Amino acid sequence: MKLDVMLAGVGGQGILSIATVIGVAAVEAGICLKQAEAHGMSQRGGDVQSHLRLSTEPIYSDLIEKGKADMIMALEPMEALRYVQYLSADGMIVTSSAPFVNIPDYPDSGKLERELDSFPNVVKADVAELSVQAGVPRSSNMMLLGMAAPFMKILSPEALRRAVSAFFAPKGEAVVEANLKAFDIGLEMVEK
């Protein structure tokens, strides 16, 4: 069994924390993992992407081949669209629906939404707004992970939830609780 995920977002949104939490869960479950990430210049408010590969068999390539990703997980809708070439025919897009506009020529939001909806398997929600409403504004990335969890198969939602706790534990109990709350909201949203 394998799961190739393209993680996407804007520098500072918390893409790499999602990757690390999944990494913690994978190690715990004894699953092979490779995760290539972007550092340095690309992080300064620019687009950020991470190739995340999970498999029960050893993995060679650090990067996902175009057309082979099982999922795009994105914290921003245009960033989700940026990587559709990587998506397999029946791949899923799990994304935040809220545009993050920090460039002058950001596409028309109606057109962007229509193009996103034209893909067969899309799960989206405004996790930025929902996390503010839930009183956990800094945890929208974990809400997205919760939304993606039921589709990840190779790792159970329970395993991911444990990894959220483990990853945030050094930052104190309040931070753990906030992130678990966000994760659960995301998970319930999709399971309904």
Residues in the site for other proteins, rule: CB under 8 A? 10-11, 19, 23-24, 27, 32-47, 59-67, 78-79, 81-82, 84-89, 91, 102-108, 111-112, 115, 119, 171-172
Pick between residue 1 and residue 85 the one whose CB is nearest to other proteins: 85
Listed in sequence order, the residues at least 6 apart from 184 whose beta carbon sits closer than 8 Å to its beta carbon are 146, 161
CA distance 125 to 149: 14
Minimum distance of other proteins from residue 188's CB (angstroms): 29
Minimum distance of other proteins from residue 192's CB (angstroms): 28
Minimum distance of other proteins from residue 135's CB (angstroms): 18
Listed in sequence order, the residues at least 6 apart from 82 whose beta carbon sits closer than 8 Å to its beta carbon are 8, 47, 49
Minimum distance of other proteins from residue 186's CB (angstroms): 24
Pick between residue 81 and residue 130 the one whose CB is nearest to other proteins: 81
Minimum distance of other proteins from residue 99's CB (angstroms): 10
Query: If we measure between CA atoms, which residue out of 190, 95, 122, 96 comes closest to residue 150?
Result: 190
CA angle 183, 185, 189 (to 5 degrees): 120
Pick between residue 51 and residue 161 the one whose CB is nearest to other proteins: 51
For residue 12, what are its two tokens? 């500072």
Minimum distance of other proteins from residue 189's CB (angstroms): 25
